[in-house]
A and B are shown apart, each in its own frame.
Chain A
Amino acid sequence: MREDVSLLVFARELLLAAPVTIEITLGAAVLAFAMSILFGLARLSRIWLVRALARIYVEFFRGSSALVQLFWLFYVLPHFGILLEPITVGIVGLGLNAGAYGAEIVRGAVIAVDRGQYEAATALNFSRSRTMIRIILPQALVAMMPPFGNLFIELLKGTALVSLITITDITFRAAQLNVFTLQSMEIFSVAINVYLVLALAIIFFMRSMERRLGRGLGRVGGVS
């Protein structure tokens, strides 16, 4: 009869795999945020072609399976002579996918800024780009933080998909340990909690970003 492995051992093993999950989450989050701003603003461009390209990006990555997108980058790109590290595939694939959702967040937040702000910027003769950068985006960013918090948590959980392209992340390691020990209950309970702790870290970070960006907007320390 086999000796049961203790929870602590599982916890240690899964935490050792956590840096991979964290690396992919962070990398993909940075890429997703950049893509979100870029394509979210492109969706609002006055130039038809720019709007159309942004639309195609959003609908393509939103409209097809993230897992298949990862498989495509992993198995198909090498046919074109492009061989990426599995980690890179994870970051790029998940980042592009989340960016498509993020672009809609950015578009929505920009549209939601009061029309009076655009009018005041026009009255002060700001160019369109300055209006966006100095007046609209700083206000829109605050509104973007809660939905981006959601998106990044989704992204964190979505990193489990990379276990299917040979990357030893938390999920991959948990599945492996399960095969070795068959202590499914312990292993996957620990795994869930490791994800939960990481998600809490994201929530905490996004809250503090929201507070920082919102300072002076009348949401913190305002009188009226």
Chain B
Amino acid sequence: MSDEPIVQFQGVTKSFGDLVVLDSFDLDVAPNEHISVIGPSGSGKSTLLRVLMTIERIDSGTIKVDGDYLWHMEREGRLVPANEAHLRKVRGKVGMVFQQFNLFPHMSALRNVTEAPIHVLGMAKEEATERAVELLNMVGLSDKMESFPAQLSGGQQQRVAIARALAMRPKVMMFDEVTSALDPELVGEVLGVMRTLATEHALTMIIVTHQMGFAREISDRICFIEGGRIVEQGPPDRIFSAPESERTRAFLKAVLEV
């Protein structure tokens, strides 16, 4: 792709103790590309998202978001570790939806969505509310604005979480196994929202998922990760119908036969 990548991992390594979860990891993501990351559990998929969200630190390598280093800043021509101000500036371009929703339990659905625009972006309350109502409509929750998370089903909570992340207008949205904690009958409503996002909005999406059919349907590219490295990547049709790597084949065989 000719576009400058919006996300660029270069030689990123991350370990927890002796366990290497990202092993000189390289990945370029083009603007508005939809990437699904698949792989066995413990392969580093979630960590990949978490270091890009600055929830976990990286040990070495660099990550660039929209042209800026994420974990570093340039000072007198040298790269030094990013300070809090720099992190906040670059992090603002990225948003994330979590497996466990992580809604704020003491706030209504509406306030979950308006809280950050008002208190982080400094948006006026009226404007933030207007946008939040729009977003909650989009995810099909116009009648649940005043409900608290505990009063919502898992699927509804996850849709609020998507609206909440979108309210910050990220350029890159990450979805970390967002349907894994849901009852099977609630998975569809969340995937439906993501499908709308993928088809009707200009948004870079990085999706970690076990929903292979969904990944195949909405992704421009599938990355199969194992042992903290990309084993194989390519267009969904090729990965799913004719994987080159033996490990990809074994993984797909295992998950698709369930």
Which A residues contact B (CB, under 8 angstroms)?
Answer: 114, 116-117, 119-120, 122-128, 130, 134-135, 138-139, 216-218, 221-224
Interface size on B, residues (CB 8 A): 34
Q: Given contacts A120-B104, A125-B92, A135-B104, are A218 and B149 in contact (CB under 8 A)?
A: yes
Tell whether, in the assembled complex, residue A119 and residue B151 are in contact, meaning their CB atoms are under 8 Å apart: no
Tell whether, in the assembled complex, residue A123 and residue B106 are in contact, meaning their CB atoms are under 8 Å apart: no
Instruction: Please indicate the chain A residues that have their CB under 8 angstroms from the CB of B120 in the complex.
Output: 124-127, 130
Instruction: Please indicate the chain A residues that have their CB under 8 angstroms from the CB of B107 in the complex.
Output: 216
**Bound complex: CA of A130 vs CA of B115, how far in Å?**
11
Tell whether, in the assembled complex, residue A126 and residue B150 are in contact, meaning their CB atoms are under 8 Å apart: no
Q: Given contacts A125-B88, A218-B105, are A119 and B55 in contact (CB under 8 A)?
A: yes
Instruction: Please indicate the chain B residues that have their CB under 8 angstroms from the CB of A126 in the complex.
Output: 116, 119-120
Instruction: Please indicate the chain A residues that have their CB under 8 angstroms from the CB of B6 in the complex.
Output: none
Residue B95 at the chain A interface, CB threshold 8 Å: yes
Shortest distance between the CB of B88 and any CB in chain A (Å): 6
Tell whether, in the assembled complex, residue A224 and residue B119 are in contact, meaning their CB atoms are under 8 Å apart: no
Q: Given contacts A117-B102, A218-B105, are A125 and B91 in contact (CB under 8 A)?
A: yes
Instruction: Please indicate the chain A residues that have their CB under 8 angstroms from the CB of B149 in the complex.
Output: 218
Shortest distance between the CB of A214 and any CB in chain B (Å): 9
Tell whether, in the assembled complex, residue B150 and residue A218 are in contact, meaning their CB atoms are under 8 Å apart: yes
Task: Identify which of residues 30-68 in chain B touch chain A, using a CB-to-CB cut-off of 8 Å.
Answer: 50, 53-55
**Bound complex: CA of A139 vs CA of B148, how far in Å?**
14
Instruction: Report the number of A-B residue pairs with Cβ-Cβ less than 8 Å.
Output: 80
Tell whether, in the assembled complex, residue A123 and residue B95 are in contact, meaning their CB atoms are under 8 Å apart: yes
Tell whether, in the assembled complex, residue B55 and residue A223 are in contact, meaning their CB atoms are under 8 Å apart: no
Residue B211 at the chain A interface, CB threshold 8 Å: no
Per-residue CB proximity of B79-116 to A under 8 Å, as 1/0?
A: 00000100010011011101010111111100000011
Residue B165 at the chain A interface, CB threshold 8 Å: yes
Tell whether, in the assembled complex, residue A119 and residue B98 are in contact, meaning their CB atoms are under 8 Å apart: yes
**Bound complex: CA of A218 vs CA of B150, how far in Å?**
5
Query: Could you pull out 16 A-B pairs where Cβ atoms are within 8 angstroms?
Result: A119-B53, A119-B98, A123-B53, A123-B55, A123-B95, A124-B120, A125-B120, A126-B116, A126-B119, A126-B120, A216-B107, A216-B148, A217-B150, A221-B151, A223-B151, A224-B150
**Bound complex: CA of A224 vs CA of B101, how far in Å?**
15
Instruction: Please indicate the chain A residues that have their CB under 8 angstroms from the CB of B92 in the complex.
Output: 125
Residue B14 at the chain A interface, CB threshold 8 Å: no
Residue of A nearest to B85 (CB): A127
Residue B221 at the chain A interface, CB threshold 8 Å: no
Tell whether, in the assembled complex, residue B119 and residue A116 are in contact, meaning their CB atoms are under 8 Å apart: no
**Bound complex: CA of A135 vs CA of B104, how far in Å?**
7
Q: Given contacts A116-B102, A134-B115, A138-B106, are A124 and B164 in contact (CB under 8 A)?
A: yes
Tell whether, in the assembled complex, residue B102 and residue A119 are in contact, meaning their CB atoms are under 8 Å apart: yes
Residue of A nearest to B89 (CB): A125
Q: Given contacts A130-B119, A134-B115, are A139 and B105 in contact (CB under 8 A)?
A: yes
Residue B230 at the chain A interface, CB threshold 8 Å: no
Per-residue CB proximity of B165-183 to A under 8 Å, as 1/0?
A: 1001000000000000000
Shortest distance between the CB of B255 and any CB in chain A (Å): 26
